[in-house]
Structure 1
Amino acid sequence: MIVITAPTGNIGRRVLDHVLAGDRPVRVVVRDPARLPAGVRERAEVVQGSHGDPEVAARAFDGADALFWLLPTDHHAASVDEAYVGFSRPAVEAIRDRGVKRVVDVSALGRGTAHADRAGYVTGSLAMDDLIAGTGAAFRALAAGSFMDNLLRQARLIKEQGAFTGTLAPGLALPAVAARDIAAVAARLLLDTSWSGQEEVPLLGPEDLSGADMAAVVSDVLGTPVEYRRIPGEALVDQLTGSGASGAMAQGMLDMMIAKDGGLDHGIARTPRHAIDTPTTFRQWCEDTLKPAVAAA
């Protein structure tokens, strides 16, 4: 039995599609089953509720051979630790109690770098990984670079103002990975019964890109000038709290970006394997994902 959490999200739904193409029984944990496509409800066992709920996790993980764990970040949480470690703790107990053999989660780059202990959301992700590893289950933490898909949140700004914003230095090149590639790696691991031990799997995408690099590609793909605008950290915090985030979670996001500016994502040496595992280029992603999203914004 393969259990998939967050099966309606950007990554989880793709993982689910890959896994359903195999011949293993699948169980999903979802708050609102109506959000699942009818075909999924027919082919997968559905456990309704939050995977952070002890009773739901215990029921969902019973008899599970493999688990895909994806944290739904709570932007209203009182602290980053509560959002990551607090939410995960009941599930970790269920992993241990139900004897789940293998766990795959989505985490972040940064372990072992000088900034890892003050990197906001990344610090929370790494603490969550440590909690899962403590169960003794075989474990793969998918340590992903920045998500290309995060740019979709600024589709309207790109369309209306020809710009997207961020706090990072315009020339700082960082790993960038597409959600589709993260999902493909996760599904491959979930379907493979041969691996053991505990490791991080760095997912870097095929190239490092700066905000300026991305703006040049977006401009070319859309056929109109688009620029990257660097904004102060205070402006980012104001944006997030204005959208309902707690002060602690807004600060956690800023702390992560400050750490990235300081080299958080540069702890892994790039190899040809990274382009094989995560092959989607930013240009390809812009052509088939960002361009239609901007047109529809």
Structure 2
Amino acid sequence: MIVITAPTGNIGRQLLTRLLESAPAAGEELRVVVRDPDRLPDEVRGRVEVVTGSHAEPAVLDRAFEGADAVFWLVPPDASLTPRQAYSGFSRPAVSALAAHGVGQVVGVSALGRGTAVADSAGLVTASLAMDDLIAGTGVGYRALACPSFFENLLEETASIREKGVFTDNVDADRKAPRVAVADIAAVAAGLLLDRSWTGSDSVPVLGPQDLSPNDLAQIMTEQLGRPVRYERQPFDELSATLVGYGLNEAFVQGIVDMKRAKDAGLDAGVARTPATASPTTFEQWCAQTLRPALLA
């Protein structure tokens, strides 16, 4: 039995699709934890066991983890909390439930940066790494998917790209860093969840096929979309003021700003790209398959 949390999110949706293709042949049953089962496609609801509720709730986790062999763990960050509360605080009930039900393996979504000079001051990333330590401390087999920034982050800026030909971030325009499509993260997660041979605790970097700077992204989007696209760097204090103005917890906002500062200082650049850490989807492919349809919608 494989349990999938956050099955309607960007990664969870694609993971569930992959597992529905592979798990039955491997003799695996699937169970999902979801607040609103109506968000699951009809064809999915008929093929998985559904536990309704939040995976922050002990009672929900007791039902979800009973008889489970492996769990996909993804924390939906809550901007009303501090970073530590949002990650480790959210995960503490799961830590208890994993031990109580003898779950053997957990695959979690985390971040790059462990071992770098800025890892302890990287805001949300620091909180995510602390969550990894919390889960690994149970003795469960744990694989933390160490991810850089997602291509899908750009979907939040479709209106600006469509209307003004501009996207923003807070890092230097020429700062090259790995970037990844969520489909590639889902593929790695599926492979690990279907594999019962691994034990112990480790991180699994998922780095995409190449490092790209914001200027590289702008050039590729210009070519792929057939319209000029440029990058504008947003000052950190402007980012902070904007997010606080939206009503987010100030400590969480500081966590976002600290993460962005750390990325600008090379947080994501500490892992070598090898055949084991690279993933296949190029930014050109992602623009054609995902960004262009979103701009036309």
TM over 0.5: yes
Tell whether 2:108 aligns with 1:105.
yes
2:58 to 51, 54, 57: 54
Partner of 1:39: 43
Partner of 2:31: 27
Partner of 1:16: 16
The 3-state SS of whatever aligns with 1:11 is helix
Structure 1 distance, partners of 2:172, 2:16, is: 36
C-alpha displacement of 1:195 = 1.4
The 3-state SS of whatever aligns with 1:273 is coil
Structure 2 distance, partners of 1:295, 1:159, is: 9
Amino acid at match of 1:131: L
Q: Number of matched residues?
A: 293
Gaps of 5+ in 2: none
C-alpha displacement of 1:247 = 1.4
Partner of 2:188: 185
Structure 2 distance, partners of 1:41, 1:239, is: 39
Length-normalised TM-score, structure 2? 0.97
Moved more, 190-199 or 86-95: 190-199
Structure 1 distance, partners of 2:61, 2:280, is: 34
C-alpha displacement of 1:40 = 1.3
The 3-state SS of whatever aligns with 1:175 is strand
8 A contact 2:166–2:232 mirrored in 1: yes
Partner of 1:245: 248
Partner of 2:83: 80
1:222 to 207, 222, 225: 225
The 3-state SS of whatever aligns with 2:38 is helix
What is the CA RMSD across the aligned residues, in angstroms? 0.9
Structure 2 distance, partners of 1:241, 1:20, is: 41
1:261 to 261, 264, 267: 264
C-alpha displacement of 1:267 = 1.4
The 3-state SS of whatever aligns with 1:215 is helix
Partner of 2:280: 279
The 3-state SS of whatever aligns with 2:277 is helix
Structure 2 distance, partners of 1:173, 1:3, is: 36
C-alpha displacement of 1:244 = 3.4
C-alpha displacement of 1:250 = 1.3
C-alpha displacement of 1:274 = 2.7
- The runs of 4+ residues in structure 1 deviating greater than 6 Å are none
C-alpha displacement of 1:273 = 2.9
Partner of 1:205: 208
Structure 2 distance, partners of 1:242, 1:179, is: 29
1:122 to 120, 125, 136: 125
Amino acid at match of 1:142: L
Amino acid at match of 1:182: I
The 3-state SS of whatever aligns with 1:143 is strand
C-alpha displacement of 1:231 = 0.9
- Identity, % of aligned pairs? 58
Gaps of 5+ in 1: none
1:175-221 deviations in Å (ceiling 9; x for gaps): 00000000010011111111112110011100000000000001111
The 3-state SS of whatever aligns with 2:46 is helix
8 A contact 2:204–2:277 mirrored in 1: no
Partner of 1:63: 67
C-alpha displacement of 1:238 = 2.5
C-alpha displacement of 1:241 = 2.6
Structure 2 distance, partners of 1:198, 1:74, is: 26
Length-normalised TM-score, structure 1? 0.97
C-alpha displacement of 1:68 = 0.1
Structure 2 distance, partners of 1:9, 1:244, is: 23
